[in-house]
Amino acid sequence: MNAQIRKIYIVVFLMVLSLAMAATYIQVLAAPTLNADERNSRTILHAAERDRGPIIVAGTAIAQSSTIPDSRRYQRSYPGKDTYAAITGWFSASLRSSTGLESAAENILEGDAPSLWAQRIQNLLTGLERQGGGVELTVNPNVQQAAASAIGGRKGAAVALNPSTGEILALYSSPSYDPNVLSQMNSTDALEAYKALNDDPNQPLKNRAIAGDRYHPGSVFKIITAAAMLESGKYSPDTEVSGPAAITLPGTETSLPNITGLPCGSGTPTLTEAFARSCNTSFALGAIDVGADALRDMTDKFGFGKPLDIPLPVTESVFPESVNESQVGLVAIGQGDVAVTPLEMAMIGASVANGGVLMKPYLVASVVNADLETQATTTPTQLGQPITETTASQLRDMMVDVVAQPYGTGRSVAMGTPIAAKTGTAETGTDGRTIAWIVAFPATENPNIVVAVAIEGDEMNPYVGGGADAGPVARAMLEAVINGE
């Protein structure tokens, strides 16, 4: 071989080697990163040619795919429409995007999950196109529909949990939207629909139940304050506490009044009565007594500041890192720099209902294959025990008085079954608007539902209250289970 041929041979060999190495790097080493890159539309476009699996509630698909005539592609549709949008999100090949469970459970819906290996092998051996798996949800359709109907388009959110398992029975954000307008194959129409929803000042694409901007919890935070007071050993439900009409926050000239402007009961109510009346001064003074660290420790045990997925990613609830003595009184009544999601408040209520044990919330009950045969099920997981069983029992009894006593703030959820509840009205600092809250559950042995509801004040009705506005929503959701509707 002469020198020139040898040189050409070496150059060609190096070129082939470099091409082989580049192909190996892209297809093997870099493939996971490239597939996960949000700028890569290939995954979404390829998924449009796959029989994407259904999202199922009580045996009925709330998201499903069907073949487009004379095409290899599939159309995604949402029979559940706006009722389930906060859960399903949307999948759109034309917009090259997906949200909600369509994104969080994508490996299952596209058939790539480890639990679907048998289906993939079967498809390979039979020559069938790859099929997606499905997810069966924990959602109770009656509770979900009750939440949607009772909120009635107002801004807000509602969550329901099974306290003993963590199953999410309802998760609704309002105002909602119809995912079908985003999943349509006409890219121009889909893009116009997305722009309209994205530019809507009511922000229907925001999931207020688990994300969004979070909310000041107002007086529902007194569940945590009361828990910290009880677990300090300084207080019991029968302890008489101070309840003046107003107090001056330490080191300031700021006055903190009761919402009525009057003393709490006789002025020295028991802790239980102060809780039922939702007296700001009693709980501000109690929090100052036990200290900010006790409140922070309690919020930490309930999961504030910790990541959570259900498998939808949940925005972390926050308690301020630094709280001086004057600020303790504000955060104790759910104002100041404390902010929560409705899911977090449902988790707090669920721990009280479950004897102090906090279970991890989850949406996916099981994974099924293309033949709807169960391939994997979710096992309930304990996140911790924020409070003792004794404290949980005491809090439950205190919450019962919120509904049962004539001076209780939660009378709107009273029904034939004893109900435990805590209401709240949080100030937003915007045009006198408030946020109405309630956390409630049946005060029975082993209750199977806990609900948390938040309703935002708006231009038409800026001042909303926990009992008057959030209470009826909670009642409708509880009745959907209690009455078996």
Question: If you write DSSP's letter for every residue of 242-302 in order, what string do you get?
Answer: ---SEEEPTTS--EEE-TTSS-STTSS-BHHHHHHHT-HHHHHHHHHHH-HHHHHHHHHHT
User: Are residues 47 and 93 in contact, defined by beta-carbon separation less than 8 angstroms?
Assistant: yes
**The predicted structure's pLDDT at residue 198:** 96
User: What is the band of 69 on the pLDDT scale with cuts at 50, 70, 90?
Assistant: confident
Percent of the chain with pLDDT over 90: 71
Q: What is the rounded end-to-end Cα distance, in angstroms, of the chain? A: 89
**The predicted structure's pLDDT at residue 176:** 97
Looking at the predicted structure, is the pLDDT value of residue 429 above 80? no
Instruction: Note the pLDDT tens digit of each residue in 251-303.
Output: 898 999 999 999 999 999 999 999 999 999 999 999 999 999 999 999 999 99
User: Are residues 367 and 108 in contact, defined by beta-carbon separation less than 8 angstroms?
Assistant: yes
**Residues found in the chain:** 485
Instruction: Note the pLDDT tens digit of each residue in 102-116.
Output: 999 988 888 776 666
* 291 CB neighbour count, 10 Å cutoff: 15
Instruction: Note the pLDDT tens digit of each residue in 136-154.
Output: 999 999 999 999 999 998 9
Q: Is the dihedral of CA 381, 148, 403, 469 positive or negative?
A: positive
**The predicted structure's pLDDT at residue 72:** 76
Q: How many Å apart are CA 157 and CA 217, to the nearest integer?
A: 13
Q: How many Å apart are CA 440 and CA 467, to the nearest integer?
A: 11
**Edge-to-edge strand list for the sheet holding 374-377:** 74-77, 60-67, 55-57, 134-137, 364-368, 374-377
Q: How many Å apart are CA 389 and CA 394, to the nearest integer?
A: 9
Q: How many Å apart are CA 349 and CA 359, to the nearest integer?
A: 11
Q: Show the DSSP H helices in 110-221 as ranges.
A: 117-126, 141-151, 180-183, 187-199
Partners of 6 in the β-ladder: none
- Supply the residues annotated as catalytic: 219
**Of 238, 241, 231, nearest in space to 291 by CA:** 231
Instruction: Note the pLDDT tens digit of each residue in 338-385.
Output: 999 999 999 999 999 999 999 999 999 999 887 777 888 999 999 999
Mean pLDDT of 164-189: 95
Query: Which helix (H) or strand (E) is 220 found in, with range?
Result: none
Q: How many Å apart are CA 174 and CA 317, to the nearest integer?
A: 20
Q: Supply the pTM of this predicted model.
A: 0.88
**Of 218, 240, 242, nearest in space to 332 by CA:** 218
Partners of 377 in the β-ladder: 366
Instruction: Note the pLDDT tens digit of each residue in 81-133.
Output: 999 999 999 999 888 889 999 999 988 888 776 666 566 666 655 656 667 78
Q: How many Å apart are CA 281 and CA 9, to the nearest integer?
A: 88
Q: How many Å apart are CA 53 and CA 109, to the nearest integer?
A: 5
User: Are residues 304 and 331 in contact, defined by beta-carbon separation less than 8 angstroms?
Assistant: no
Looking at the predicted structure, is the pLDDT value of residue 73 above 90? no
Q: How many Å apart are CA 9 and CA 73, to the nearest integer?
A: 46
User: What is the band of 459 on the pLDDT scale with cuts at 50, 70, 90?
Assistant: confident
